[in-house]
Amino acid sequence: MTRQLRLAWPPQLDFTPESFVASGATREAREALAGWREWPSRALALVGPEGAGKSHLAAIWAGEAGGAGEDRPVLVEDADRTAGEGDEMALFRLLEQAAAHEIPAVLLTARRRPADWGVSMPDLASRLRALAFVELEAPDDAALSQILRKLLRDRHLRVDDRVIDYVVKRIERSAPAARRAADLLDRAASEQGRNVTMRLASEVFAAGEFETDDEGLSA
C-alpha cells in the first residue's frame, strides 16, 4: 500500500471574528466586550483558563474597538502575570488613565480574578478589587466540538464529524484538553503519514494518552 506523505506545517492561529466559536459559554463575555464604552472606570478583566478563548475574544475586541494613536483602546494580555513581574506601577497608571478617560478603555486578560493577582502595591490592589471582570465558562459538548475542529483546522487537518464526536466524548470538557487532543492527533498523523481517521484516533487513545473503552474502530 502506498504510504501518504504529510508535511508537518506549524499551527496557523486564526483570530478573525469569522473563526470564533460562539456558544452559551462565551455569551456573557461577548456581550460585555460589545458594551465596552459602558465599563465602570473604562476597564474590564476577561478571566478564564488557558485555551478558553480569551486571546481570540480580545483580538476581536481590539479590532472592533478601533481608534488610532493615543485614541486606541489598550489590550494587556496575561495581566495577572504582568502584575507579578514587577510592572505594577505601569498597570496602575494604565487603569488610572482609563478611569480619567485619558484613553478610551483597557481590557486585561488573565487566568485569575483581579483580586487574586497578589500584587504588593496597595493602590493597585485597591483598583483590582474594584475592577469589573467577566469569566469564561467551561464549553458544552457542542462548543467543544467546534473548538476541536478549529484547532485541527489551525493544524491544516480536515476530519470527519465522526472523529470529532469520538474525541469529544473521551476528553475532559475543557479547551486545554481539546488542544492536547489536537496536538496528539496532529503528531500521530505526521509521524505515520496518515490522515486523521477513526482508526488513527482510536490508536491514539489506546496508546494511553487518553482513556477509552472502545477497541478496533475502523476508518
Q: Give the pLDDT score at 100.
A: 94
Residue 157 CA, chain-centre distance (Å), reads 19
CA atoms within 13 A on the CB side of 3: 8
The answer to whether the predicted template modeling score (pTM) of the entire model surpasses 0.85 is: no
H-helix or E-strand spanning residue 172: none
> Among 126, 100, 102, which residue's Cα sits nearest to residue 115?
126
Contact indicator for 64, 183 with CB cutoff of 8 Å:
no
Contact indicator for 36, 73 with CB cutoff of 8 Å:
yes
H-helix or E-strand spanning residue 60: helix 54-65
Amino acid at position 216, single letter: G
Question: How would you class 204 by CB atoms within 10 Å of its CB: exposed for 0-12, middle for 13-18, buried for 19 or more?
Answer: buried
The neighbour count for residue 112, using CB atoms within 10 Å, is: 16
> Domains, the chain, ranges and CATH?
24-135 (3.40.50.300), 139-209 (1.10.8)
Instruction: Write out the chain's pLDDT in tens, 219 residues.
Output: 334 444 444 555 566 665 666 667 788 888 999 999 999 999 999 998 876 788 889 989 988 887 555 678 999 999 998 776 668 999 999 999 999 999 999 999 999 999 999 899 999 999 999 999 999 877 778 888 988 998 898 888 889 999 999 999 989 888 788 888 999 999 999 888 889 999 999 999 888 766 433 333 333
Characterize 138-148 residue by residue with b for buried, 16 or more Cβ atoms within 10 angstroms of its Cβ, and e for exposed. ebeeebbbbbb
Residues in the chain: 219
Q: Where are the beta strands (DSSP E) in the chain?
A: 43-47, 74-76, 106-110, 133-135
Q: Give the pLDDT score at 125.
A: 94
